[in-house]
Each structure stands twice: as C-alpha cells, then as structure tokens.
Amino acid sequence: MGRLIGLGVYLWNVEETLAVVRVLRVLRPEVVIVLGGPEVSHETRGQPIVELADHVICGEADLAFAALCRQRLAGEVPAKVLTPAPPDLSRIELPWSEYSDDDLANRVLYVEASRGCPYRCEFCLSSLDDEVRVFPEGPFFAAMETLLRRGARHFKFVDRTFNLDVKQSLRILEFFQSRLTPGLFLHFELVPDRLPGPLREVIRRFPPGVLQLEVGVQTLNPETEALVSRRQDHAKLEDNLRFLAQHTSAHVHVDLIVGLPGEDLASFARGFDALVKLRPQELQVGLLKRLKGTPIARREASHGLVYSPLPPFEILRTAALSFDELNQLRRFARTWDAWGNSGHFVLTMRRVLDEAPSAFGVVQRLSEHLRARDVGSSGVALTRRFQLLFGFLTEALGWERTLAAESLFEDYRRAGKTDRPSWLASLPDAALAEAVRVDFSARQTRHRAK
C-alpha cells in the first residue's frame, strides 16, 4: 500500500500538484499515482497531470479509491479513467473519529449532512448532480454528539443547499441549539429565497456569534439568471435577508459573482446597491471562474467569455464587460473587501453608504482614489487604512475634518486602538479621553455596530 499515492486536484492547487506528480515520476517511477478532485474529474483528455498519472477517479471516490487499491494489490490493472456511480451514503464510514483532540480544539471541521443540489446553475459543479442524497441521521447525530463531547466547536457545513429540506434543517439546528456551549460556531449555506416560518423562528433563537449563514445570491439580473439556469424569487430573497438583518443575531455573508453572461457594469452596480441596502454583514464580490465540466462552457462563444489560462482561471472579458471594466471590478472587489467587509469600519462605512446615491458608486470612487495615489487594496496595515479613509472622506467626499475624525475614531476604538494617530488631530481631547480598549478581534464581532 505504501507504493500507491492518492492526490486531490483542486482549482487552487493545480500547478502545485502537477509539480509534485512530475517530481514523483522522476524520483519514484514505480509509485502508482491516483488522482481525484474536481479539476481532473472533467475534461480529462489532454491534461498534462492526467497523462502523468496511473489512474483518475472522476467524481466521489469514497468507495472507489478503496476498491482501486484492492485491485492493484491483487495484481489487477483497472482502466486509467474511472467513473464510479455516486456511492450509497449509508455505506460510508463518517471520518471525524480520525481527528485528534488537538485538531478538534483548534481546527474548523468541514461537515456534510447531505450531498448534491437540485438546482442547475450553469456556473457551479453542483449543477451536474442528479439528486440530493442525505446521510443517515442516526450515525450523523451520534457523530456530532461525540465531536461536541471531545471539544469540537467550529462546524462548517458544506451542504450546497442546507435549507432545501426544512425538516432536516430544523433537526440539525435544534440539535445544536439544545447543546449551546461557549465558542460554538456553525456555518451553513442557504438557498436565498427559502426561509419558511419554522426555520426563521429557530434561527432567531440563536445568540450572537454562533450562526454564520452564507447566502449565494450571485446576481439579481433576471436575464442573466435565465442564461445560467438560475431560479430565485427576488421578493422572497429580499424579505429573507431583511428578516435576518433585523430580527436575528446571525452573521450573514452574501455572495455576488462578477462576469456572468449578460451582466454589464450598470447591471452589476444595481444588484450591489440593492443588496447593500439589505445590510448583510458581508457582501462578497467574486469573479467568475472557469470550473472544468460546468455547463456554462456552452456560453463561451455566444457571450464572449474569455478566462485566464492560469489558476484560478478567472474571467478576463465578456461580451458585456470589457477587459478594462473587469479590471476595474477586480479592484473594486479588493477595495470593498478591505474597507467594507473587514468589519473595521462598520460605523463610518455605514454613514458613507447611507449618504451616497449609489453604494457601488461611492466604493468605486474610493477604489479610484486609492489607485490615483498608487495604493493597493490588500496588504495595507490597518492604521494606514484608517488614514487613507480619512483622506477619502475629507478630500473626495468633502466631509468636515472633525466630523470625519469623530466617525473614524469610533471605529478606531472598536478595533482596540488607544493611541492618537495623526489624522485624529482635528478631534478635541475631550473625545479622546473616552477611549477604551475593546477586544473586537473576531470578524463577526467587528461587524456589530453596537
């Protein structure tokens, strides 16, 4: 068994894994190399990494990899590319017992209660799944009970549609709610327009800091939704996000995608503005990536989708967005992440966005303000970011210096700072005297305005 190696190939490590395989081929040519993962499960022909491997398992390999090992040990040589049927989840032994106590105390556990997705969004690999399959509840809940008893506190559920089966969602949430303990953290991915009353009620009962809900909106352009086979009820979506913001303590993370077919700059700006008004704690702006095997490939010619040939294969140009516009949006996304999503400028950014006719427009102005001063959006020290935002408020937006200093000082205190940086020169000493050191180190906590 020591002469057989399995490697997972993912979007972010394609080149790195290829380098490992090349070295193994030279150093240990007798080793049997088996590849799996999304980057080699589709479009296998012509991939250098596939050519170098002995076998590729396409899709879920929970049972198929063990079967392949048994065949090789028995002297059999299976086909190079294997495409097993999705495994019966009742036959899979849950893996979490393999974690050490140190792992459980210090790591985020990736958990799945189900696999698959009923939706057919063409930009997502989950659109290739035929059905949603659920792990048997008895062993699943027994495993969760054991993990909690052993000290596990951070659970990230990777189910693509956690709230698809509302009854199952309620059972999982109520299980953890009845076992609340300090440090418990739960992450779930939600379908945006599916949040019926019973689910709302149980989410409402969780205290601050426990629930993080990732809501994949992706676009609010109806024509684009039709092009990528995405169905969502905008009225329900907005009502659900408004409810989560106003009536729960959940930390809400909303996703938007730049570069989907048919979405131009103005359309994306309208969607961004609409979502900012619903006040999610984080609004993640990500560029479309070319995932091998996704049906959106059929739109490449008709909608001018051009991707980078290098990982992570981000979109470079579409028929609706020029290369320059996409670069502009790439800078916008980095600026928004550093100043809008970080949680360090919650009070000031809220005032900026509330006063602006367009949230997109004012963040774009900030992005261009930084670019004109040759300042990047990442790798900038926190104190420097405060200073840069002070300059933007006073120079670009025309805020009176004392007003800008007072607003930023509130956020500065929340960041745990007690010194007096140069941009605070306009603030009276009496205001500074109230400074107290506050621990707002957790990202979720930083996003709370009060």
Determine the pLDDT at residue 429: 58
How large is the average pLDDT for residues 125-140?
Answer: 91
pLDDT band at 311 (very low <50, low <70, confident <90, very high): confident
**pLDDT of the residue at 256:** 98
Is the model's pLDDT at 250 over the cut of 70? Answer: yes
Asked if the model's pLDDT at residue 438 lies above 50, the reply is no
Q: Which of 389, 412, 413 is nearest to 399 (CA)?
A: 389
Per-residue pLDDT, averaged over 92-101, amounts to 92
User: What domains lie within the chain, and their CATH numbers?
Assistant: 4-82 (3.40.50.280), 89-321 (3.80.30.20), 368-446 (no CATH)
* pLDDT tens-digit map of 352-398: 999 999 999 999 999 999 999 999 767 789 999 999 999 999 999 99
Hey, which residues does 115 pair with through a beta bridge?
133
What average pLDDT does this structure show over 302-309? 97
Rounded-to-integer distance, Cα 201 and Cα 220, Å: 27
Cα–Cα distance measured from residue 256 to residue 275, given in angstroms and rounded to the nearest whole number: 9
Residue 444 has what pLDDT? 56
With CA atoms as reference, report the closest residue to 169 among 208, 200, 124, 138. Answer: 200
SS (H, E, C) the chain: CCCEEEEECCHHHHHHHHHHHHHHHHHCCCCEEEEECCCCCCCCCCCHHHHHCCEEECCCCCCHHHHHHHHHHCCCCCCCEECCCCCCHHHCCCCHHHCCHHHHHHCCEEECCEECCCCCCCCCHHHHCCCCEECCHHHHHHHHHHHHHCCCCEEEECCCCCCCCHHHHHHHHHHHHCCCCCCCEEEEEECCCCCCHHHHHHHHCCCCCCEEEEEEEECCCHHHHHHCCCCCCHHHHHHHHHHHHHHCCCEEEEEEEECCCCCCHHHHHHHHHHHHHCCCCEEEEEECECCCCCHHHHHCCCCCCEECCCCCCEEEECCCCCHHHHHHHHHHHHHHHHHHHCCCCHHHHHHHHHHCCCHHHHHHHHHHHHHHCCCCCCCCCHHHHHHHHHHHHHHHCCCCHHHHHHHHHHHHHHCCCCCCCHHHCCCCHHHHCCCCCCCCCCHHHHCCCC
Taking CA 112 as the corner, what is the angle to CA 102 and CA 256, rounded to the nearest 5 degrees?
Answer: 105
Nearest alpha-carbon partner for 445 in 338, 336, 343: 343
Residue 8: which pLDDT band, with cuts at 50, 70 and 90? confident
The mean of the pLDDT values for the chain is 91
Closest to 365 in 3D by CA, of 391, 386, 343, 392? 392
The reported pLDDT for the residue numbered 1 is: 44
The pLDDT of residue 439? 38
User: What is the model's pLDDT at position 12?
Assistant: 77
Max mean pLDDT range (120-129, 296-305, 408-417): 296-305
pLDDT at residue 268 greater than cutoff 60: yes
Cα distance between the two ends of the chain: 57
Which residue has 């996704």 as its token pair? 294
Provide the pairing of β-strand 306-307 with 315-317. Answer: antiparallel
Q: What is the pLDDT of residue 440?
A: 35
- Averaged pLDDT, 419-430: 69
pLDDT of the residue at 208 = 96
pLDDT of amino acid 413: 87
> How large is the average pLDDT for residues 57-76?
94
Residue 61 has pLDDT above 80, yes or no: yes
- Flag whether pLDDT at 317 surpasses 70: yes
Confidence of residue 419 (pLDDT cuts 50, 70, 90): confident
Read off the pLDDT of residues 171-224 as tens digits, 9 standing for 90 and up: 999 999 999 999 999 999 999 999 999 999 999 999 999 999 999 999 999 999
